Structure 1
Amino acid sequence: MHEGTAAKVNMAFIVAIVAVATIGGFMFGYDSGVINGTQKGLESAFDLGSLGIGVNVGAILVGSSIGAFGAGRMADIIGRRGVMMLSAILFLASALLAGAAGSSAVFIIARIIGGLGVGAASVISPVYISEVTPAAIRGRLSSVQQVMIISGLTGAFVANFVLARYAGGSTAELWMGFPAWRWMFWLQAIPAAIYFLALLIIPESPRYLVARGQDERAHAVLTRLFGEAEATRKVADIRASLAADHHRPKLSDLIDQTSGKVRPIVWTGIGLAVFQQLVGINVVFYYGATLWEAVGFSEDYALQTNILSGVLSIGACLATIAMVDRIGRKPLLLIGSAGMAVTLATVAYAFSTAVTGADGAVSLPGNNGVLALVAANLYVIFFNMSWGPIMWVMLGEMFPNQIRGSGLAVAGFAQWIANALVSVSFPSLVVWPGLAVAYVGYAFFALISFFFVRAMVNETKGRELEDMVG
């Protein structure tokens, strides 16, 4: 944005529509985190072993990968807001069906439906936010998405803890003869309904409207956002950025027509998406209670530890909001990679000292329990001040206009496939080769991600979306 237009920016309107868009992030977080406190209920209700738990927990990721891949392209057809509204409907249906599931098969279907919504919201909310915010503060406002994701996770952790405490355990009867774990799913119907209703009051992305030939509607939206003069300039800039390609966006645009190879910016996006998962963050978010119980924590204390991790995550994301448009995206990614490598290695060491007592109970000797807890939470802080929010910020802004939807589709698909591989494999890794070895693997990927960022990632701080190339 030009300096002369800054005074005309309608920040109240921008903040309002960003707040609505990021409810999708909250739902993404809640739907992902709610499973954390329900695993005992799933085991008892559906008679599941470790592989069965992995499949039931990982079912959401099947839907998420499909939702992320389809949403990028669908957003170019029915619009950013249209995809978010569809996500809200999927969240609501999933919440109701998962809580009522009478079999593992029905539960898996319900979680796949929810995953479609999670995957779609995960890629479209950042795109929408990047397309309606000024370049100078785009990173700050886009980072709110991660704050809302963590808020959703923390909200799920708190709800699970309160319901389990009130009922006397996650498998104990709560209301209307149903156990607490079923109410943990049903509760998310409330924010899903709020999300859908709130989406009715925000406008469509002006960049989508220009791409569909609706320049007048785009101009009206941009006028509300930035004022008349800036709206006219932006419509012209968007139109010019699309003019080089005289066709509507399609998946084949990701291939450079001159070289016949996939564009380098696409590989960078895929790398960012995959490394964000290979460092193992969702092991903490999906299996936090199970993880801490595996090293001797009680269910009640393990659920409280989840809440602590969530609160620290929100604090780290708020720090990122303050820094991202000042020091840039790339430095934060490098700091995060280095910090995660060290803290994950420390967690691996602590878990390697676990001992089994005569009664079969597992514990960490000496101060190693405290060491594991501190290192794990430092790891969560490093992730959420760097790769957590920055990956979504960059995917929302790094691609040129012509390939933004398709680039997000491919990167989002890769992100959720990596998420599924890490999450589904974790219960089996706990059995063999064990927690310590698993965490060594996550530390290794954190180290490799440092060198990937140095070699492949270009800074996007302060650049207009129309100036992105790749």
Structure 2
Amino acid sequence: MATVAQPRDGQVNIGFIIAIVAVATIGGFMFGYDSGVINGTQKGLESAFDLGKFGIGVNVGAILVGSAIGAFGAGRMADRIGRRGVMLLSALLFLASALLAGAASSSIIFIIARIIGGLGVGAASVISPVYISEVTPANIRGRLSSVQQVMIITGLTGAFVANFALARYAGGSTAEFWMGHPAWRWMFWLQAIPAAIYGLALLLIPESPRYLVARGREADAHAVLARLFGAAEADRKVVEIRNSLATDQHRARLSDLIDKSSGKMRPIVWTGIGLAIFQQFVGINVVFYYGAALWEAVGFSEDYALQTNILSGVLSIGACLATILLVDRIGRKPLLLIGSAGMAVTLAIVAYAFSTAITGPDGSVSLPGNNGVIALISANLYVIFFNLSWGPIMWVMLGEMFPNQIRGSGLAVAGFAQWIANAAISVSFPSLAASPGLAVTYIGYALFAALSFFFVRKMVHETRGVELEDMQG
């Protein structure tokens, strides 16, 4: 890595920290892009592979199988090969998935390609926040960790914009674009570019100092910490990290999540699992994965539905930027409570609007009066509330809430739960939208948003300003 000026003692090298956080969060961009690229390709998949509603759900949800496995394995793998090592592996998986998915000649090959991409998504989703939390000072950790969600949404929006541009230029997602291939295939191939950039950029950042201390490489950890915080602070940090690990010297394992005195799962683990599941059960990825199909189902044209995706993405980025300003000022828990309440109300309004849908003699669907506008506004307010709160804050908390000794294992379990919940919502949506219908489905998401409010009040403890070495489990 290029030589970086050492900060004076007592000063934080904020420029260096921002630079390495920027590289780490490219993983968030790829997480978002790889997840969002499917939105707008479903007509192509349906026609190319002769898929029905269930088949579309399986092809769309295939990435989530890989994501669950990747998230479960990434935490423990990061304790063995390092945080940066796992992120490098993710970059390779993103690249392979992009090339194979675009070239898939059958549904089976496409599913395999998306599972490969999912392994990268799952790994990046849990390791990037951990890496960021381990190289940033406590007083700005929330802000910099929230950048991950900004990049996830930027990746989603980038996929939406690319898909819209390709479909508009070709004359539709199934129309030929270039070299005899339809636009929907190029939607997947295009993501190979940011995947390659991610892999190359990762070669320029250091390994996490907490991982280095855990592996007995204290001199290397001191060198990284000195670049970040100055030599004197590096001395103190190495001692803190060593002491936090000294009480339990054995290799991290899943059984560490069990409280030895009670024989039960540690409460902090249940909190992490709950945060992960509720983040998905409010239905956010229905918007991200099925946005185009969702709006077409209530009468929007394909072109307008793709533009609506872009609007949702831009609003999401704005909400995440607001989170960056607020998370280290008012804390994590208040933002989660605000988000839960806001999502419950806006989802209920969306459900009402969808309940008024009218099917014409020709089979076309429309929302009467101003209900289309009400649905659109409420859906985007819901997206804003999510990205002001649960979107970034869940990842911030998973990256910082676990004690050092169980961080990898805790993330493995919580990350696995998050992606299983994601799969349950995403795979079930096409069938639920057909019966019992969009209105009932969205009422269900609204109920989970309401329940999440009470979960946060009871189970979540504030972590604002707490050093990672002081986290209790």
* 1:313 and 2:320 are equivalent in the alignment: no
Counterpart pick for 1:159 among 162, 175, 184: 162
Counterpart pick for 1:414 among 417, 427, 434: 417
Question: After the TM superposition, which residues 32-431 of structure 1 pair with which residues of structure 2 at under 5 Å, given as runs?
Answer: 32-431=35-434
- Give 2:438's aligned residue: 435
CA distance in 1, matches of 2:363, 2:12: 63
CA distance in 1, matches of 2:235, 2:366: 65
Runs in 1 of length 4+ with deviation above 2 angstroms?
4-7
Contact 2:32 2:154 in 1 (8 A): yes
CA distance in 2, matches of 1:309, 1:7: 42
Question: After the TM superposition, which residues 14-33 of structure 1 pair with which residues of structure 2 at under 5 Å, given as runs?
Answer: 14-33=17-36
Contact 1:276 1:387 in 2 (8 A): yes
* 1:468 and 2:466 are equivalent in the alignment: no
Contact 2:44 2:184 in 1 (8 A): yes
* 1:457 and 2:438 are equivalent in the alignment: no
- The Cα offsets for residues 262-291 of structure 1, whole Å up to 9 and x where unpaired, read as 100000000000000000000000000000
Q: Helix, strand or coil for the counterpart of 1:433?
A: helix
The one-letter code matched in structure 1 to 2:199 is F
Contact 1:5 1:230 in 2 (8 A): no
The one-letter code matched in structure 1 to 2:190 is L
CA distance in 1, matches of 2:188, 2:318: 26
Contact 1:87 1:116 in 2 (8 A): yes
CA distance in 2, matches of 1:57, 1:76: 31
- The Cα offsets for residues 121-152 of structure 1, whole Å up to 9 and x where unpaired, read as 00000000000000000000000000000000
Displacement of 1:257? 1.1
Contact 1:211 1:248 in 2 (8 A): no
Displacement of 1:248? 1.9
Q: Give the unaligned 5+ runs of structure 1.
A: none
Q: Identity of counterpart residues, as a percentage?
A: 85
Give the TM-score taking structure 2 as reference length.
0.98
The one-letter code matched in structure 2 to 1:288 is G
The alignment's C-alpha RMSD in Å is 0.9
Contact 2:10 2:233 in 1 (8 A): no
- The Cα offsets for residues 159-192 of structure 1, whole Å up to 9 and x where unpaired, read as 0000000000000000100000000000000000
- Give 2:4's aligned residue: none
The one-letter code matched in structure 1 to 2:356 is T
Contact 2:9 2:233 in 1 (8 A): no
Q: Give the unaligned 5+ runs of structure 2.
A: 1-6
CA distance in 2, matches of 1:92, 1:427: 28
Displacement of 1:7? 4.7
CA distance in 2, matches of 1:263, 1:430: 38
The one-letter code matched in structure 2 to 1:410 is V
CA distance in 2, matches of 1:359, 1:423: 29
- How many residues are aligned here? 467
Q: Helix, strand or coil for the counterpart of 1:74?
A: helix
Give the TM-score taking structure 1 as reference length.
0.99
- Give 2:3's aligned residue: none
